[in-house]
Structure 1
Amino acid sequence: MLTGVTAVLFDKDGTLFDFSASWSAWAAQVLQHLSDGDPARATDMAQAIRFDPERGEFQPDSPVIAGTMDEPVRLLAPLLPDGWSADRLKAYLFRSAAQAAMVPPVPLAPLMQQLRGRNLVLGVATNDAESIARDHLARAGILSQFAHVLGYDSGFTPKPAPDMLLGFAQFAGLNPAHVVMVGDSTHDLVAGRAAGMQTVAVLTGMAGRDDLTPYADLVLPDIGHLPQALV
């Protein structure tokens, strides 16, 4: 049971946006571009980031799912064709990721307005870059609903460390015990527990209920069920 909640802190990918629906097509396009038409290189790159090209989706154990943008750079840079550097790769991934088509699991604007209507402070803590997160939220029409948007490059150690979450609580002037961390991965929930927050898992990422339940106070199908849980 969630009690005394004054703020909701959301992960982005897999939480505000369905992970597979949002990122699988992007990954396929990135691999096609980076492999430069070389099928063997495309296969090696897909294996490196644990992406299944036949099914067109990430495998659940992909380090890219809950990692930062540094993960695909580290994994793909050694496999790049001539003319690509790690810096050029990172710049390309930033540009392409910012334009990726994000698919929300539920209509986001009315949900955020409903939560704000309860005088809840809303925030985002993502292992994506802050600039990319802001682009995605702005295109979804909900950026203005969040008091703070923090990414892995906002000056905090990324999740599963609790630093970003505690930073949000400090910026908002809130007791972490009254904040709910909502996420789709164990990284999100472990960080929430370490920050002393209440934790809610959603099943719109790549992790299953059995993986998330040990770290969550509550498991929901998606964030659309959150208002009923905050009674």
Structure 2
Amino acid sequence: MRSPFSITPIGTLCSPFKEKFAVPRQPGLAPSALAYLDLHDEANQIEAVRSIEQYSHLWLLFLFDQNLEKGWRPTVRPPRLGGNERIGVFASRATFRPNGIGMSAVELVNVSQNNGQVTLTLRGCDLVDQTPIIDIKPYIPYSDNIANAQGGFAQAKPTPLDVHFSDSALRALSQYPHQAYHQRVIAEVLAQDPRPAYKQGKEDDKCYAVRFYVQPMQILVVAVEAFVETPPHC
């Protein structure tokens, strides 16, 4: 049955995560990462976000735009279950969904308008750069934070790994004026162990490259057993 409904994105998110690999699997796992939401077309009005600063956090509704053409799957293999056990798609937050819609709770840092462009500065996003945003809703603590809620197989927050930077990686970071910020975001992302689920907790001598940011800030980091370095070639 064809639906008469259609959805038009209200904005686009500019985030530090330039590809799906290593994007935090849930919001807030890389709490230092800043992202910028530019509103589009009719939504690009400062009146549309009037009084939004009274909320510390927002819900973003977005499209899994990189997966839409691949269709959806009735069962999925969540990484938290090792990538082997299948569960129903509606019992997960998997990206392959019937309508390709996701939701993410993020911290609101700032609202600005420059040359007619309304931008929301956000913190703690788990979205790929250029993700289409289809709606924004305030996070309401008394109703959205349910103290006795059960989280199924994702009840507990993942235990982060220790991330260390080699001298060569620190020298690369020192070229940029916001070294501490970039180092903190990289460490928070890699601490979640972005490798495939079946690799986690095992010996692994493979090199993994993670791409963050855009020019002029672009750093290649390599994680081997939770150790970060910038080798001459990989």
* Normalised-by-shorter TM-score class: under 0.3
Larger Rg: 2
The structure whose residues are more often helix, as a share, is: 1
| TM-score, normalisation: structure 1 | 0.25
Q: Which has the higher strand share?
A: 2
